Amino acid sequence: MEFSAQQIADFLKGEVVGNPEVIVNNFAKIEEGKPKTLTFLSNPKYTNYIYETKADIVLVNADFIPEKEIKATLIKVPDAYEALAKLLELTESTKTPKKGVEPMSYVAPNVKMGEDVYIAAFAYVSEKSTLGKNCKVHPHVFIGENVTIGDNVILFSGVKIYPNCTIGDNTIIHSGAVIGSDGFGFAPQPDGSYHKIAQIGNVVIGNDVEIGANTTIDRAVMGSTIIKNGVKLDNLIQIAHNVEIGEHTVMASQVGISGSTKIGDKCVFGGQVGLAGHLKIGNNVKLGAQSGIMSNIKDGSEIIGSPAIPIRNFYQSSVIFRKLPDMYKQLGQLEKEITKIKEEI
């Protein structure tokens, strides 16, 4: 589909600077812009590209002031990144959605399905499960017995959902994710072996959650592992049994959370953060990449390092760490001088 700059600006309630009649039919990164494409500028690091991009339209923040001439037409909006998200969502909504149950899929006779459900070939939906309206189940998805799935849920190819789990409305789960696998529970025996502890709980996922590819969320030993509304999990994350993650918390790739840890609302975890078990993490906590967390953290804390320390202390320590070679040389020189003084005395 093609849209003019003026049509886009009207949709976004933005201001056109340049030719309002210019037409675009695709998106591009600002450094790879081509004619008839739309791009955006929100990160100042990419500002230099706006003066040379071949894209015909660039979304910019309302406070953007160019330092020299720009060939592209600008659309000024309060937040360029948010505006781009709206346009991408609009583009997706124009695609004709798939509906119905394809041949070579299996749906148990007593499964309950809402309107406009799509189940692709080679998907398997087990007995007593429920799928809300407009759910999309892609090839090779497995849905276990007594699973409840809300409205507008998308399960991409290869997702596995174990029995008795619950998934809320508008949730997206990407390929290879496993929901409800056994937690890592083993009782040590006198002979040094380990006896498996049965995991009889489930996983409960709230509304508006997104779970990345190959992320795993273990079922609880008893009760539920809980992912609350609005949580966003990147690819390759491990959530252990009986963990609770608060609303609108986000985690980058390769985070690992040990069993029974409780995480508050609106937390932000960088990549490869690791948390020990049975911890309590407060609300609005920020953990820098590769942080190792071994104790409880209060609301609003900003932590980094392994073992983790307050972020200000970490940066101060980093400055000292860089100076250690020089300090070591100075210490050696002082030792020589002290030795010489002692000999003279």
Q: Is 48 left (phi over 0), alpha (psi -120 to 50) or beta?
A: alpha
In this structure, how many other beta carbons lie within 10 angstroms of the beta carbon of residue 341?
Answer: 9
Q: Please identify which of the residues 138, 174, 241, 248 carries the catalytic annotation.
A: 241
Angle at which helix 5-12 crosses helix 80-93, to 10 degrees, equals 110
The yes-or-no answer on residue 138 being catalytic is no
Tokens of 182: 């056994």
> What is each CA distance from 129 to 86, 98, 149, 168, 200, in whole angstroms?
33, 21, 8, 14, 18
Catalytic residues: 241
